[in-house]
Structure formats: structure tokens, C-alpha cells
Amino acid sequence: MGTEFSARQRSVRLWRERVGKSVMYIGIVLFVAFCLAPFLWIVSTSLKAPSQLHMKPPEIISWPPFWKNYVEVFHGRPFALNIWNSVVVAGTATALSLLVGSFAAYALARLKFRGRDFILSMVLAVSMFPGIAIVSPLYLSFSRLGLVNTRMALILPYITFSMPLTIWTLTAFFRELPMELEEAAKMDGCTPIQAFTKVIVPLSAPGVFTCAILVFIFAWNEFLFARTFMNNSRSYTVPVAMQLFEGVGDYTIPWGQISAASVIVTLPLIVLVLLFQKRIVAGLTAGAVKG
């Protein structure tokens, strides 16, 4: 009797575990579908002809695909140059932010001095400062310096606003690394700079990759400064160029071309994140558990 009751308990427990796992998997699938739905809808819209965009009920998948939208994105407008502008601006801002921010983070993590926590607080306060509040002064300054319609007018603000993220993330990484690593490197004849570049930076690769990708995405998608400091179609970055897409007639919006351009500029970011997702996860979770 006891054995039969115990077997029944085990079967009930197994059934509950299976139901729990099934509910969890269904929930994950629904959540992923909810997150992917906007992007999939944009892909679907990018493959529709203009006559299919306003059909009721809307077509989820149009056949045959209207690939002309992807061709028209580059026809009659310098969109390829706009993509290159975004690559140069975002890449340069990311590289300089990591270069300067890594040294600053290393100093804040390793050096003990009065006011260190205050400096970190001030660095964090910069990231909370609204960009709209400094657009006008920056525009006047850049106009006097002749930087309007140049990439440097975007690189400088992007570095400023991405620096707090870089410093805070890398400071957490450097604090987790034991001091014995640098002491061992110095005993082997390394200078402090060599110990930092050859020992600390490679071990902090997850944090570096995380900062690089997040800063790059921020600079790639930024719109306010790019729209304010650029007034030439050949100087636009991708977000501004897409916002100024014009239709063939009056009061028409080329949704198919805008969707195609969105797919073109989003795919590189998706590939980048998928390639380095393990390092991103490691970077975002570093320092969460102490010990």
C-alpha cells in the first residue's frame, strides 16, 4: 500500500514538472514572438509593393516579394554614403570612448584617493543630463569652429555621453581582477602600462566587448545631434537619412522603402550581437555576485 502510494506521488510530481516546463517553454516562445513581431512586420512591409501596403485585411506575406524597395533605397539618394557616415562616426566614437574610458576606469578601480566615489557619481550624473539641453550651445560652438556638417561634430558629443557607461562598466571589471596579476607582471619586468595592456585588458575582454557594442549601438541610432548638426544630405547619418525619405507624390510616405532601409541598417547590429552574445552576457552580469 505504501509503495503504491509512493509511486503515485512520484507520477504526480513528474506530471507537475512536465506541465511546469511546458508552460515555461510556451511562455518563452510567446515572449520571443512578441519581441520579434515588430521586426518581422518591418521585413514583411519591405517586401510589399506600394499597392499592397494599405490592403484590408493586410497581407502578412506578399508573394512574389517586391525586392524593388531595396533597390530604390539607394536610387536617387546618397544612402550608401549615409551608411558609411554612421559606420565612421559610431566606430570612431566607440574606439575613442574605450581608449579613454579604459584608462580612467583603471585609475578609479586601482588608485585609492579621496573623492574617488564623488568622481564616479559625477560621471554617472553626466549620463543623466538631457541632450536637448545642450544642443543649442553646442551648435553655436560648432558653428564658430566650422564643425557643422562634419563627422567630428557628432563624434565629440557621442564620446561625452557614452563615457559614463564605459567607465562604470570597466571599473566594475577591473575591481574584480586581483592585484596579484599586476604584481606578477611587474616582477616579470612589465611596466605599469604593459601590465595593463597585456594582462588586465585581455582578462577584461567581456567588459570591453559589452561597452563597445552598447556604445556603437547608441552612436548608430542617435538622432537628435545628427539632425541638428547636419543639414547636408551627404553628411546625414542613417537615422536622419531615413527620416527624410520622400515619396513620389505629395503627402506620400514610402513605407516600403523606409522598411527596407530599416532592415538594411538593423541587420549588421543583429549579426554583431549574435556573434558576441556570450561576451555581452558575461559583461552585463559581471560584478553581480561578489566573492
Domain covering 69-285 in this structure, CATH number: 1.10.3720.10
How do residues 7-48 score in pLDDT, each as one tens digit? 667 777 777 778 888 888 898 899 988 888 888 888 888 888
User: Residues 171, 177, 182, 185: is their CA dihedral positive or negative?
Assistant: negative
Output the nine-digit C-alpha cell for 20. Answer: 511546469
> Read out DSSP for 59-117?
PSS-SS--THHHHHTTSSS-HHHHHHHHHHHHHHHHHHHHHHHHHHHHHHHH---TTHH
Q: Mean pLDDT throughout 129-143?
A: 86
Highest mean pLDDT among 32-36, 56-60, 88-92: 88-92
Q: What is the mean pLDDT of the chain?
A: 82
Region(s) of the chain under CATH 1.10.3720.10: 69-285
Within the chain, what is the greatest distance between any pair of CA atoms?
Answer: 92
Region for residue 149 given its phi and psi (left: phi exceeds 0; alpha: psi -120 to 50; beta: otherwise): left
Q: Mean pLDDT throughout 238-242?
A: 89
Output the nine-digit C-alpha cell for 240. Answer: 536622419
Q: Is 286 helix (H, G, I), strand (E, B) or coil?
A: coil
Taking 90 as the threshold, does the pLDDT of residue 244 lie above it? Answer: no
How do residues 149-192 score in pLDDT, each as one tens digit? 999 999 999 998 888 888 888 888 888 877 777 778 777 777 77
Count Cβ atoms below 10 Å from residue 189 Cβ, excluding itself: 7
pLDDT score for 2: 52
pLDDT score for 89: 94
